[in-house]
Structure 1
């Protein structure tokens, strides 16, 4: 069924929101202010799902998507919205989450952190499928709302040199004896050659190894093999590779394995670290905790400026990498690390830590609920500043509610970082003070 709708707003997934006979309709492809003809694709008791068939009155911010696979590939959903308007929409999502989930409001909205809109992805997980009906092997992201692999021949959010590998990779996988047992290629980029990690469910024979080596030489990439979990990833036999990235402003270089977590967008990461350092207002006598510290992305810049830095992370291999990075940058005597499950801590946990007067928290999407519940109240005067880096505005808003309404802190400032242009993903940073 097709209906004419006026798009009143957009939701956190970038869908238009309209009403049809009093019922909420989420409209894929609709932008705020537009009048569209939409087809109802799914009907639920409380809402409908629809997709735009025709735009009758377009938004002034509607643009033609750059990618020929837009609408089929599920990797990007907002290419039809002007890039600057995407950032404004993400800022509204953050503010709406603060209001409706946390019942809080930032005293100041910080300027958004922006960088390149294309070619920004230095990490990607590409699915691989041998599909006889489509003529061979497909390599790419999944189709929208589907487990099928999109028939992709380029990807504009990948660096051009990596995007250009999609078609050659299809031919390579098709030539392998294990082509039906290689479900994934993970890509990671540092300051050297692109790294490709081949997930394989059967041993890779000598003939296939020779094909991988030839591909690497021709296309200037490096291969890792991953027979089981991420911790099993290793270079091709007889090879050794060093993967790293640099925070130029701080003179720091980080080593990492291709399956270890690093930020997808190095341009935004560098600016996010700079913003975090400014918000922390570090002094030489500060004692700073970095929670969910990973391999030390924020920890090491803090350690350059503070008297003592304490990094905590739930992954023992990442803590080992963080220690290695601290030593490699001459900071081993200025920082200490510990392994702890920060999702399962007691409410008196903070009292067991070394004395700290400032915190940086950078949790995954689940947020830091147990951590904020364990923090001392603002009135204690023990914490001067808390910087919270978030990849989920809803869990940030939930945790902000506890910090403000239960612990007595103020939300002094918050803003977005456009880590994933052309997607609905919202990265943000917030400052809490007593």
Structure 2
């Protein structure tokens, strides 16, 4: 409720909760106020930047009464850079808030409640991002180049010299990269640098809109040698990226040591940005799925085979489906590389358009793992009809609690499954992103 005299002071509100974007939620004058930079339990003033009849979007002004979860942000660009939104909140409180959001979504959107809340799992809060897409912009008025993430709610690139969520050696490259790009003839035609770190090599992919001249090439080669990185050049879409210098380098890979798996990947292909937490995520998903020799298990949205190969390593037959032909080919190659081709199959399928007939045509699966993008897997779960022979256990890995909850409603209320367990994996510390895992089993009878 707003307090104070509006004639001589800004209105203040008490923040009640966090929303899925990491904003504080409060009420004033019959409206919901979403306040960036405010935490539950705090009393704050706020500065609206968008007003609608039923809600306002605002930035926190004065923190009149700080909450007990508030901490000093570690990054000096917090508030300017749009990359992180929760650095001002203790990381344990971040995890608890994300768990509450997951439970609230399941209850209010899906009308379901898990029988068991899985313990939230999280790891290092800093230096965890091994994938990042840095924007590049030449500022003519200052004769300088900016390299970093976009400013909050802006298309401008933040003026930054470091980043706390990428590994230290990559953070230290931001200033040298600014100087390098500024020295190139195509400094106005290089809009992006994609960072892709592997076990044995660090790759930087330069998105170039014009050709390099000989001096540009010499500068890039010198930089790569000095900083022990490999440059790729990308003149078109992601598939056009190719190694520039050094042309030969250690293969770009990540590993799943618990399953004795090495996963080669191309620097523009999708992999989880947090490799240490990916290992934990795979361990939890496989523990819940519990693959057994002789079982046939489907992996929908399988990508490179991040879950399919561990399923096969446990002795089951893993059948991976993916919408990208290039990723299907990569998954097949990874399976061969890890000696698992005899226990895996991969097929291209548009999983957003499959139906009951398609599902039945794939044959019987004992179990299923679903790991969709933010849009969820509504077509897939709808295709699992209650009166048909469908998997008795499903593990659903989600990056969006809203679409997970929607799909959970179909599985439980229409298709005869129970929601046995659910919990979060804090894949992206200091952001509002929520990664979660849910376990469904067929109801008896």
Normalised TM-score (structure 2): 0.95
Q: Does 1:286 align with 2:295?
A: yes
Label 1:333 to 1:70 Cα distance change in 2 as closer, same or farther (>3 A): same
Give the SS at the match of 2:116: coil
Work out which of the residue numbers 402, 405, 412 in structure 1 matches 2:413. 405
Label 1:132 to 1:345 Cα distance change in 2 as closer, same or farther (>3 A): same
Work out which of the residue numbers 215, 222, 230 in structure 1 matches 2:223. 215
Contact 1:416 1:427 in 2 (8 A): yes
Give the SS at the match of 2:439: strand
**What is residue 256 of structure 2 aligned with on the other side?**
247
C-alpha distance in structure 1 between counterparts of 2:326 and 2:390, whole Å: 31
Q: Does 1:201 align with 2:209?
A: yes
C-alpha distance in structure 1 between counterparts of 2:153 and 2:90, whole Å: 23
Q: Does 1:80 align with 2:72?
A: no
Contact 2:232 2:245 in 1 (8 A): no
Q: Does 1:41 align with 2:18?
A: no
Q: Does 1:433 align with 2:437?
A: no
C-alpha distance in structure 2 between counterparts of 1:158 and 1:289, whole Å: 34
Contact 1:128 1:137 in 2 (8 A): yes
Q: Does 1:298 align with 2:307?
A: yes
**Residue 132 (structure 1) shift:** 2.0
**Residue 307 (structure 1) shift:** 3.4
**What is residue 150 of structure 1 aligned with on the other side?**
158
Q: Does 1:344 align with 2:315?
A: no
C-alpha distance in structure 2 between counterparts of 1:209 and 1:335, whole Å: 43
Deviations 1:247-293 (A, max 9, x none): 11111100000000100001110000000111012211211011100
Contact 2:289 2:393 in 1 (8 A): yes
Contact 2:365 2:391 in 1 (8 A): yes
C-alpha distance in structure 2 between counterparts of 1:311 and 1:376, whole Å: 20
How many positions carry a matched residue from both structures? 433
**Residue 238 (structure 1) shift:** 7.1
Contact 1:361 1:387 in 2 (8 A): yes
**Residue 100 (structure 1) shift:** 1.6
Label 1:376 to 1:285 Cα distance change in 2 as closer, same or farther (>3 A): farther
Work out which of the residue numbers 427, 432, 445 in structure 2 matches 1:419. 427
Contact 1:137 1:174 in 2 (8 A): yes
**Residue 355 (structure 1) shift:** 2.6
**What is residue 331 of structure 1 aligned with on the other side?**
340
Q: Does 1:191 align with 2:199?
A: yes
Q: Does 1:171 align with 2:197?
A: no
C-alpha distance in structure 2 between counterparts of 1:417 and 1:134, whole Å: 42
C-alpha distance in structure 1 between counterparts of 2:218 and 2:303, whole Å: 35
C-alpha distance in structure 2 between counterparts of 1:156 and 1:245, whole Å: 22
**Residue 346 (structure 1) shift:** 2.3
Give the SS at the match of 1:236: strand
Contact 2:356 2:385 in 1 (8 A): no
Deviations 1:353-373 (A, max 9, x none): 133110001011111011001
In structure 1, runs of 5+ residues without a counterpart are none
Normalised TM-score (structure 1): 0.98
Give the SS at the match of 1:102: coil
**What is residue 318 of structure 2 aligned with on the other side?**
309
Work out which of the residue numbers 8, 11, 19 in structure 2 matches 1:11. 19
C-alpha distance in structure 2 between counterparts of 1:134 and 1:399, whole Å: 50
Q: Does 1:276 align with 2:276?
A: no
C-alpha distance in structure 2 between counterparts of 1:382 and 1:140, whole Å: 47
In structure 2, runs of 5+ residues without a counterpart are 1-5
Deviations 1:276-324 (A, max 9, x none): 1110122112110111000111110000113311011011111111111
Label 1:39 to 1:238 Cα distance change in 2 as closer, same or farther (>3 A): closer
**What is residue 25 of structure 1 aligned with on the other side?**
33
C-alpha distance in structure 2 between counterparts of 1:35 and 1:196, whole Å: 44
Deviations 1:340-359 (A, max 9, x none): 11011122211111331100
Contact 1:288 1:306 in 2 (8 A): no
Give the SS at the match of 1:348: helix
Deviations 1:376-407 (A, max 9, x none): 32x65631210000111111001001001110
Work out which of the residue numbers 360, 363, 368 in structure 2 matches 1:354. 363
